[in-house]
Amino acid sequence: MSRIEDALKAANETCALRIGSEVLNEVAVMFKEQFPGKRAVVVADETTWDVAGKKVEEELKKAGVRLQPAFIFTQPDLYAEYSYIDLLVESLKEHDAIPVAVGSGTINDLTKLSSHLTGRRYMCVATAASMDGYTAFGASITAEGAKQTFSCPAPLAVLADTNIIRKAPGVMTASGYADLFAKVTAGADWILADWMGVEKIDETAWSIVQDGLHDALANPEGAAAGDDEAISQLIEGLMLGGFAMQWSKSSRPASGAEHQFSHLWNMEHHLNNGEHISHGFQVSIGMLAVTAFYEQVLRTPLENLDVEACCAAWPTPEELEKTALEMFVGTDFPNIGVQETKAKYVTREELAVQLQQLKEYWPKIRERLLAQLLPYKEVKRRLELVGAPTEPEQIGITRKRLRDTFIRAQFIRRRFTVLDLAVRSGYMKQWLDGLFGKGKIWEITE
């Protein structure tokens, strides 16, 4: 576990992480080490209470830890929405106990922000390898109709019993696998941003996430089957992503264009047959789409880019603002395009510098990207093996909407990704035609 130990040294919020089979028995020891003399309150939903919450409470009680009655969410449609924060905060204000979140993404995020709002830290007991948010700073919560990241510390301690996690529903493991796979395309986006002089790679954060990433993704069959080693590698990789975000105080090490797809669909309140789609399954389609898009990029001789023509076609701030406003007319987030594109806007002079670097160094950039990325067919094969979606229709996204997402997603975040490369180089339409044209991966026939 040397990678975990090294990452913990870089993390500035989480002090302890334990991953292993049957380690749930150590929950009381970990709690007493990190919160000496404190009382505890288990936070769970009805499912995670049965899976591990009851056992956590028993272990804490047996070790002499004082307990508040458990807070158990009973809502059948529970998700990370701000009204549930209000409920938990109201309860936590009645005492000073340390919350012990028992669950995965929803329970963790609700407890993370509620703990922060009531002036205390918390501990997390993971029940599924479903996402990388366990050890991430910030909580992803839907508020006022939009998915937002609220600033708050990661848990002080995390315990992940692989014997419990490997028994989680297969869709949760598949979701986590896809979220971990997204670090591949997120890394590619960071490579582009670094070489074009937009955002330098933080070598510590890069190493935490990327070292060993391809190994952690090598056994999708094992992850789907609940193989202990494969599950351990998966949960470790997800935890490391969170540590990198702690170190950098940014989601850049673990999130790129593929996450922008998911964020946009959340903001558009997308449902599939009336049901919310897991973050990992949205990212699965986003990451696969971005991988295919990168293959279009890598086939393009960008060393021959006409920088002068790109700069001449570059919109003025006023033109871009008009486009951004038109992009989201009729939504409940009409101004986000203006806000985010303003934040990353460059002048024609600055654009010329960026594109000249791209043109000059393209052979080296291309080589680095080829080493980072996996082929589209291989990515799709692994996602199918683990049980994640590989076609947009599987999550209720039409091919036309997927194409539109490439364009719209570029407007909702200021982070530089391959989508920004496409816009700044003038290749967006050509590269999209290479994916959605006749006989292509996602031919649009309607």
Instruction: Determine the pLDDT at residue 442.
Output: 97
- Per-residue pLDDT at 276: 84
CA 155, chain centre distance (Å): 17
**Confidence band for 143, pLDDT divided at 50, 70 and 90:** confident
Cα separation, 271 vs 291, in Å, equals 24
How would residue 27 be classed by pLDDT, with cut points 50, 70 and 90? very high
Nearest-angstrom CA–CA distance, 81 and 33: 32
- Give the pLDDT band (50/70/90) at residue 146: low
Architecture category of domain 3-168 in CATH? 3-Layer(aba) Sandwich (3.40)
346, 350, 354, 359: CA torsion to nearest 10: 120
Q: Which of 47-51, 134-138, 214-218 has the lowest mean pLDDT?
A: 134-138
pLDDT at position 180 is 97
Q: Is the pLDDT of residue 383 over 90?
A: yes
pLDDT at 1 over 70: no
Angle 255-19-135 from CA coordinates, rounded to 5°: 30
pLDDT tens per residue, range 56-72: 999 999 999 999 999 99
Residue 145 binned pLDDT confidence (cut-offs 50, 70, 90): low
Beta strand pairing status for 40-45 and 71-73? parallel
pLDDT at 69: 98
Higher-confidence residue of 135 and 308: namely 308
Query: Is the pLDDT reported for residue 107 higher than 60?
Result: yes
Between CA 107 and CA 101 the distance in angstroms is 6
- Asked if residues 84 and 75 have their Cβ atoms less than 8 Å apart, the reply is yes
| Stretch 336-340: mean pLDDT | 95
The whole-number pLDDT of residue 149 equals: 83
CB atoms within 10 A of CB 72: 14
**What is the reported pLDDT for 144?**
75
Mean pLDDT (whole number) for 428-435: 98
Which CATH architecture best describes the domain 171-198+255-436? Up-down Bundle (1.20)
| 159/134: higher pLDDT | 159
Phi-psi region of 147 (alpha: psi -120 to 50; beta: other; left: phi over 0): beta
What radius of gyration do the chain's Cα atoms show? 22
The 10s digit of each residue's pLDDT in 172-182 is: 999 999 999 99
Q: What is the pTM of this model?
A: 0.92
> Which pLDDT belongs to residue 257?
98
Per-domain residue ranges of the chain: 3-168, 171-198+255-436
- Sheet (strand 98-103) strand order: 16-20, 157-161, 123-126, 98-103, 40-45, 71-73
> What's the mean pLDDT when you consider all of the chain?
95
pLDDT higher than 60, residue 135: yes
Residue 133 has pLDDT above 90, yes or no: no
